[in-house]
Amino acid sequence: MKKIDLNSAVLKNVVSDGNGLYTFSKDGGMLLFEGAKGTICSYSCNKDEYVVFEATNLSEYSTSVTLNFWDTEQKHSNITVKIGLLPQVKTVVSLKEESAEGGVLFLKRKPGRLKTVVLGTPVKLRNLTRFAFGVAPSPDNVTLEIHDSYISECEPEYAVPDVKLVDTLGQKKITDWVGKTKDEDELKKHLMAEYEKETQIPDNCSAYGGWLGKRFEPTGFFALEKDDRRYWLKDPDGYAFISCGLDCVGVDGDCNLTGIENFCDYLPDKDTPGWAKRRFGDEVFFSWHKYNLYRTFGENWYEAWTRITKRRLIEWGENTVACWSDMRFIKNSNLPYVHILRGFPRTTKNIFRDFPDVFSPEYKDESEKWAQQLDELKDDRNMIGYFMSNEPHWAFSDGLNIAAVALESDEKFYSKEVIVNSLRTQYEAIESLNMAWNTAHSSFEDLYTPIDKEALNKTAWDDLMTISAEMVREFIKVPALAIKAVDPNHLNLGMRYAWVANKTVTSGCEYFDIFSFNCYRHDPYGSIQHIVDLVDMPVMIGEFHFGALDRGLDATGIQGVASQEDRAKAYRYYMHRAASHPYCLGAHYFTLNDQGYLGRFDGENYQIGFVDVCNKEYSEIVESAKKANREVYLVANGDMKPTEEKQTEINSICY
């Protein structure tokens, strides 16, 4: 164990009391360590060692601590690792040094801490110039007590204190708020009342949840239409349809309790139904969302939940059961839905993260097998279309040059042959390439020997970026054609990219019917226009959300607002702005349910739902959705101006 001397750090937006308490600015702050090249806190980098900080978040809410790594002189770190911490709990924050090289986007959850994500451009540890431990921007200043800090040759133990953080219903135990369910009797009374309600169908609504105010030629399936004003979806009967949906329509809420079961005030054991408490390998999951329904309805809990949820979606005007939703519910509810395919085709050897060897015969074979999962859905008129995948991990690295990464590897990729042959065609003679690249290769065969992509000049980098675009096109083309051969009836909704930083990521979009992306903004209009400028095709937003800290949970999710009233304003403003763009066909809110207080499988614990852990509606956002989802057609058709009423924004808490 090598102790880290915190006194050697440069404090950036941090105040220290000299006794282990560090208060970080709400705009974010860090303890910055600078030293010799290839070192962390004056110790030589070793990818098998762990950087460890033992800390307690003394703030009222969860927070996101960061580990930052630089291997250039950039102002911003090349890699930022964000780790979520619960409040008032001593937590062991550790990171294996090789994680800074960016090979994995999401790291496995460890006891006591929440989600861990690796963002940015991979670094080379041998070139490391600076390292920092910090806190991301937060709604307020964050105080951490740092008990110990060191570099360890082995992974540390993750001991957690014996404290109770959630009550018998799965709610946060240590605070109260308006609408908190007091006990099991109140839970049952509320859910039984919800079960007894009859469905009230919104006015001017088609059989599929579209708009009776505009009709096109019906085709029998959901399809695209364009009039003199904008793009539209049309339902199988031909009525205009803007997709207003909720992701994750299901009874989820599974908490990853591995190593932290003692945080629970009550956790049933012998009488716990198998679907409420599950074990995957060495991990334990429990769902209070499910167990609370079981407490109320017994063995018929799922049927009761289906009845309640179908009625709610219809009344809320959420006409699309969106991604990650329960297929059993979709079939039973008979509502329109979008489908996301499982297990995007991979190859035995990937080039970077989840980017396959796209020119290999294996990729084509795997794509054809993968596409068969749509065979049973190809004639379903309720299905709007399918997403090929969600947020490819390789696309999280802005400016990624996938061809350069392939040439840097010593693997014998099929794609490497395509890269070399493309350069041979472009330059014809190796002397021409050497002159352009400022290299000294004896033949094109030398390019099969691993190169250092950091040594490439601008011409070489640009050449390989051009080839990267062709690789991304192949990444899309092969599976897209395989799907269309199986299912010619439904719309290809694209990949749901997390964001689109450059034109290269859009390669292959000609094989989509609609370009999809997840847009976590307060106003989506500019992001929609950015995509349209790149691809000139209709778009769909796969995810957005807003969270607040005034009820129930400690993290806002990706976009934070001041209160539940502001969540309501934010939803309506977002949907109006999306519908006002002539290329936007809809937006799906993530998610129906709040996440579990102690964190889902990876540790996310965001207050982002339409309903809480007791299946109680957040009335403010629900009433706003009812209104906004009716108004989007008037906005889209030019009969109503988008609202100008905006929410109060706060710094988010997310990881």
- Contact (Cβ atoms closer than 8 angstroms) between residue 305 and residue 189: no
Quick one: how many helices (H) and strands (E) in the chain?
A: 12, 32
Core vs surface per residue 468-481: b (16+ CB within 10 A) or e:
bbbbbbbbbbbbbe
**In this structure, is residue 427 part of a structural domain?**
yes
- Res 184: pLDDT: 97
In the chain, % of residues over pLDDT 90: 93
User: Facing residues of 239 across strands?
Assistant: 215
User: Facing residues of 587 across strands?
Assistant: 244, 541
Residues 355 and 468 in one domain: yes
3-state SS, residue 283: strand
- DSSP-derived secondary structure for 578-608: HHTSTTEEEEEES-SBPPPTT-STT---B--
**Rounded Cα gap, residues 270 and 351, in angstroms:** 47
- Contact (Cβ atoms closer than 8 angstroms) between residue 166 and residue 86: no
User: Facing residues of 65 across strands?
Assistant: 83, 135
Q: Is the pTM of this model over 0.85?
A: yes
102: closest CA among 405, 390, 404?
405
Higher pLDDT, 282 or 491: 491
**In this structure, is residue 14 part of a structural domain?**
yes
**Rounded Cα gap, residues 75 and 77, in angstroms:** 7
- Contact (Cβ atoms closer than 8 angstroms) between residue 246 and residue 313: yes
Residues 496 and 601 in one domain: no
Domain that holds residue 59: 2-152
Residues 111 and 210 in one domain: no
**Rounded Cα gap, residues 451 and 449, in angstroms:** 6
Residues 638 and 519 in one domain: no
Residues 537 and 547 in one domain: no
- Res 275: pLDDT: 79
- Res 276: pLDDT: 81
Which residues, at least 6 apart from 227, have a Cβ–Cβ distance to it below 8 Å?
216
Mean pLDDT computed over 340-353: 97
**In this structure, is residue 163 part of a structural domain?**
no
- DSSP code, position 198: P
Helix (H) or strand (E) holding 32: strand 29-34
Helix (H) or strand (E) holding 485: helix 458-486
Domain end, chosen from 490, 518, 541, is at: 541
Does the pLDDT at position 272 exceed 80? no
Does the pLDDT at position 281 exceed 90? no
Residues 285 and 418 in one domain: no
Domain end, chosen from 128, 152, 176, is at: 152
At 575-597, the pLDDT tens digits run 999 999 999 999 999 999 999 99
**CATH code, domain with 345:** 3.20.20.80
**In this structure, is residue 92 part of a structural domain?**
yes
For all residues of the chain together, what is the average pLDDT?
96
209: closest CA among 240, 230, 232?
240
Does the pLDDT at position 21 exceed 80? yes
Does the pLDDT at position 39 exceed 90? yes
Which runs of consecutive H residues, i.e. helices, occur in 317-413?
A: 327-333, 361-371, 402-408
Residues 498 and 355 in one domain: yes
3-state SS, residue 616: coil
How many independent structural domains does the chain possess?
3
**In this structure, is residue 159 part of a structural domain?**
no
- Contact (Cβ atoms closer than 8 angstroms) between residue 588 and residue 541: yes
**Rounded Cα gap, residues 348 and 29, in angstroms:** 41
Mean pLDDT computed over 216-239: 98
Does the pLDDT at position 270 exceed 80? no
Residues 550 and 535 in one domain: no
Give me the phi and psi of 191, to 5 degrees please. Answer: -65, -35
**In this structure, is residue 394 part of a structural domain?**
yes
Higher pLDDT, 357 or 74: 357
Does the pLDDT at position 75 exceed 90? no
In the chain, % of residues over pLDDT 70: 99
Helix (H) or strand (E) holding 635: helix 619-636
Nearest 5°: the CA angle 386, 316, 622 is 115
Does the pLDDT at position 313 exceed 90? yes
Mean pLDDT computed over 260-268: 93
**In this structure, is residue 170 part of a structural domain?**
no
Mean pLDDT computed over 192-212: 97
What is the biggest distance separating any 2 CA atoms in the chain, rounded to whole angstroms? 82
Residues 526 and 589 in one domain: no
Residues 525 and 557 in one domain: no
Burial of residue 380 (number of CB atoms within 10 Å: 0-12, 13-18, 19+): middle
Residues 579 and 520 in one domain: no
**Rounded Cα gap, residues 86 and 163, in angstroms:** 12
Nearest 5°: the CA angle 470, 71, 357 is 25
Nearest 5°: the CA angle 462, 465, 466 is 90
Mean pLDDT computed over 177-194: 97
Domain end, chosen from 508, 541, 574, is at: 541
**In this structure, is residue 234 part of a structural domain?**
yes
Does the pLDDT at position 563 exceed 90? yes
153 CB-side CA count, 13 A = 2
**CATH code, domain with 66:** 2.60.120.430
At 382-412, the pLDDT tens digits run 999 999 999 999 999 888 999 999 999 999 9
At 95-134, the pLDDT tens digits run 999 999 988 999 999 999 999 999 998 898 999 999 999 9
- Contact (Cβ atoms closer than 8 angstroms) between residue 9 and residue 32: yes
- Res 278: pLDDT: 82
Residues 390 and 522 in one domain: yes
Give me the phi and psi of 539, to 5 degrees please. Answer: -130, 160
62: closest CA among 168, 142, 7, 120?
142
**Rounded Cα gap, residues 87 and 91, in angstroms:** 10
